[in-house]
Structure 1
Amino acid sequence: MRSSFSRRVILALVIIAIAAGIVPALRYYRDFMSHVSTDDAYVDGTVALVSSRLSGTVSAVYVEDNWQVKEGDLLVTLDPRTFQVRVDQARAQLARARQTVDELYAQLAAARAGLELTESQLNQAVLDYNREASLYKANVVSKETYDQAVTAYRVAKANVALAQHQVTQAQAALGGDSEDHARYDRPIVQQAAAALEAARLDLSYTRITAPMSGIVTHKTVHVGHRVQPGEPLMAIVPTRRLYITANFKETQLTDVRVGQAADITADIYPGYVYKGHVDSISMGTGAAFALLPPENATGNWVKVVQRVPVKIVLNQPPPPDKPLRIGLSVEVSVDISDTRGPLLTSTLQKHFFRNGKPFTPPERLQIPPLPEILPGWPDIGPLPGGQSTPPSAPMKQS
């Protein structure tokens, strides 16, 4: 009797244990069939390398490693004196170009006045010739006097032709358009204005600002360094543009689709789960884009399961007490129960397209307007396109 009772107790305990294990077993089986996971995943993000557009000497550095900066904050300044001199030279060249245009207009006015003078002289020579010709026919004046009148007429006519050529030459020096409403809209002024704008632009490049908000890392620049164009000075890691790169096995991607929910756990914060979704799936394996891709056309070939990078985007920014950092190891689990999503697109792309056309880029470099350089410069008037009509305009050629 006692052994029979013991068997019954043991059987009951086994039944209870099986019944208690069914629920978690079913839950595990359901999770196993509806999720794919990997621990080959890392935090990734866009890193902005800050560099100089000019060659110069660093005069001031305003940040240090791991400092937080905002878009547009001043990071580094280069010695601006050389570029200020170039701006001065360009302004002087622009003023000289305007002065040259004024001189050309003065030459055109003088040529027109000379033309009027020679035309008046020609009219007088015609009158003198007609009078001397009538007197010569009446044998009142000598042939010498008549020849002098003929010569004077021919000289006056040649002077008019010369004056006309001088007016044409003066108009050609102004580009053929002598209308005063476009007085300074000339190639020589436009070239000088473009040189001034380029000099001012180079001067503005001596102030290196943050292209985006983030954390300064890998700062290598110091005061007194001689930097070259394109040389990395520091890097800025944006805290709100981080994402996860999960390298799934190719055998796990059968049912992975864009838009599926994903759970992310970081080794640095055990127990905390970040919520995200599949943003896109890479068009190639990691080995295909490696610096030295594998050579499979060999005799000793061993099949290796390839891994495909999958981009996971967080649904919400990380909480302030649990920030993510580039390079951290994470584990990713993707819910593949819903396979209606696309395979070859990105969830971020649709936010920047309307009716199939882009309307705003996801990253846009903010270009500040050029500052006014060196206050106190003499005002030489507006640049081409904003000029006004001078009070004295040359007369048109009749």
Structure 2
Amino acid sequence: MSNELQSPAPASTGNPRRRKALTALAAVVVLAGLGWGAYEWLVASHYESTDNAYVQGNVVQITPQTGGTVMAIYADDTDFVKAGQPLVQLDPADAKVALEQAEANLGQTVRQVRTLYANNASLASQVRLREADIGKAQAEVARAGDDLARRQSLVGNGAVSKEELNHAMTQLANAKSALAAAQAGVAGAREQLASNQAMTEGTSVQQHPSVLAAAAKVREAWLASQRAALPAPIDGYVAKRTVQVGQRVAAGAPLMSIIPLRQVWVDANFKEGQLRKIRLGQPVKLTADLYGKRVEYHGTVAGLGAGTGSAFALLPAQNATGNWIKVVQRVPVRVALDPNEIAGHPLRVGLSMDAEVDVSKQDGKTLADATRSAPVAQTQVYAAYDQGADAEVQRVIAANLGGRAPAQAPAAAAKVPAPIARTASAGH
């Protein structure tokens, strides 16, 4: 029996199917990496996005310019108001009394100034009268001098007594005294005339400083009476109403706010590393959590903030400490929205947004270098107050100038909405 050992079978060369699968997987990974790299180089690098973006807008506070008691409230939260529409009515009683006092003072001042102009003619007559007295006194001095000369020539032959001569000398002295008094009277009358003319020279009654000062008081009282009604300065929606009927409010106290939702924008807070390619004028695509992906807004980069949020915080970070941890900072980027898109899908202040900036165009600037030529916000609601004040001043002046006061045109009644709250004595 042979003890020959049986040789082992050759080792298996492996599973070819497994090798193919691994090769295919490696190829897929390589292709995916190449595709991702190509996408990152050709597409993703041209966009910067963030979900740290929020809708912002102007919050216009309604504050009274004068203090008073609230009589009526014409708008409440969520109401839409037009510019010029009344919002709050204060009690105008005190302002009305002050206006009447100012008008009475203006009328009295006009009449006093008219008296100054009338005194010019009276004082001029006094000057002429005093000048006539000088002529009369000069004639009396000449007569008394001739009488004295005749008597002095007759003293030597005894025709005139010494007593009569003394009497003639006394008459001459009295005549000279009367002449001096008449000359002093003329000087005094001329001084009075010059003093009165200095108060009226080069101006009219309407433009006299005293009349202008009294007219300024009337304008001040008129404005105070008009400011008892608080109008809406712009179109918008009412929010944060805190005023109540019967409340005594002070000048400058916030009563409510108006938010023009058609003039909103987005502040997108990008990381500092994302800012190197962001330029003014670049297009931005935005979506709001309110509407989801189905509604897309289009805007442009309008400006970059002058500092990070932490730099303007109420309590800024103190980084010069031992326990320092670096935190990536963010800078607000303002995005202007399309007004037509806002009208179609309104936004609210504070809503969350997703912003994606197309940074492929690098020809823009990072900081604006031109000053603004138009105001950011403007209202003409208060412009009519001065016109009404001027008309009231002219009416009072005309009524006290001695002529017939012009008829006052009836003011067009403004359409006032029904108040949401009114005091029981609001009609006093």
- TM surpasses 0.5: yes
**AA at the equivalent of 1:192:** A
For the Cα contact (< 8 Å) 1:318–1:324, is it kept in 2? no
Paired position in structure 2 for 1:287: 310
2:345 corresponds to which of 322, 334, 342: 322
Aligned: 1:95 with 2:121: no
C-alpha distance in structure 2 between counterparts of 1:10 and 1:225, whole Å: 82
| Contact persistence 1:108–1:167 (CA under 8 A) | yes
Larger Rg: 2
Q: Contact 1:74 / 1:208 at 8 angstroms: preserved in 2?
A: yes
**Structure 1 equivalent of residue 215 of structure 2:** 193
Instruction: Tell me, yes or no, if the aligned pair for 1:240 and 1:317 is still in contact at 8 Å.
Output: no
Aligned counterpart, 2:384:
369
Structure 1, residues 135-194: CA drift from partner, whole Å, max 9, x if none?
32122883233233222222212221222222233234x1xx435x62342221111011
**Post-superposition offset of 1:33:** 1.0
Match of 2:98 in 1: 86
Structure 1 residues 323 and 378: CA distance shift in structure 2, 3 A = closer
> 1:150 — aligned with what?
176
Aligned equivalent of 2:410: none
In structure 2, the partner of 1:341 is: 364
1:326 is aligned with what amino acid?
A: V
Question: What CA deviation, in whole Å up to 9, does each residue of 1:176-224 have, x standing for no partner?
Answer: x435x62342221111011111111111111111111111111111221
Give distance in 2, aligned partners of 1:242 and 1:250. 25
| Deviation digits for residues 226-267 of structure 1 (CA, Å, limit 9, x no counterpart) | 111111111111122111111111011111111111110111
2:149 aligned residue = 137
* SS of equivalent to 1:138: helix
Is 1:221 matched up with 2:208? no
Q: TM-score, normalised by structure 2?
A: 0.78
C-alpha distance after superposition, 1:4-30 (max 9, x if no partner): 999999999999999999889855663
Q: Which residue of 1 aligns with 2:301?
A: 278
1:343 is matched by which residue type in structure 2? Answer: T
2:192 is the alignment partner of 1:166: yes
Q: Write the letter of the residue equivalent to 2:396.
A: I
Residue 205 of structure 2 contacts residue 211 of structure 2 at CA under 8 Å; is this kept in 1?
Answer: no
Normalising by structure 1, we get a TM-score of 0.83
C-alpha distance 382-318 of structure 1, shift in aligned 2 (>3 A)? farther
d(CA) in 1 for partners of 2:31, 2:325: 45
Structure 2 counterpart of 1:148, one-letter code:
N
In the alignment, is the contact (CA less than 8 A) between 1:35 and 1:337 conserved in 2? yes
| Alignment match of 1:104 (pick from 83, 105, 116) | 116
Contact 1:264 1:273 in 2 (8 A): yes
1:381 alignment partner in structure 2? 397
Q: CA RMSD in A?
A: 3.4
| Residue 49 (structure 2) aligns with | 37
Checking the alignment, whether the CA contact within 8 Å between 1:44 and 1:326 is kept in structure 2 is yes
Structure 2 residue matching 1:193: 3-state secondary structure: helix
CA pair 315-100 structure 1, distance change in 2 beyond 3 A: same
User: Structure 1 stretch 25-34 or stretch 297-306: which is displaced more?
Assistant: 25-34
Classify 1:113/1:59 alpha carbon distance in 2 versus 1 (closer, same or farther; 3 Å). same
- Aligned mates of 2:334, 2:230 — CA distance in 1: 32
1:395 corresponding residue in structure 2: none
In 1: Cα distance, 2:93 partner to 2:174 partner: 70
Query: Is residue 261 from structure 1 mapped to residue 283 from structure 2 by the alignment?
Result: yes
Give the match for residue 301 of structure 1. 324
1:41-80 counterparts in 2 under 5 A? 41-80=53-92
Supply the AA of the counterpart residue of 1:222.
Answer: Q
Q: 2:277 is paired with a residue of what secondary structure?
A: coil
**8 Å Cα contact 2:262-2:339 kept in structure 1:** no
Aligned residue number for residue 313 of structure 1? 336
Structure with the higher fraction of residues in helix conformation: 2
| Aligned position for 1:233 | 255
Gapped runs of 5+ residues in structure 1?
353-357, 391-398
**Match for residue 264 of structure 2?**
242
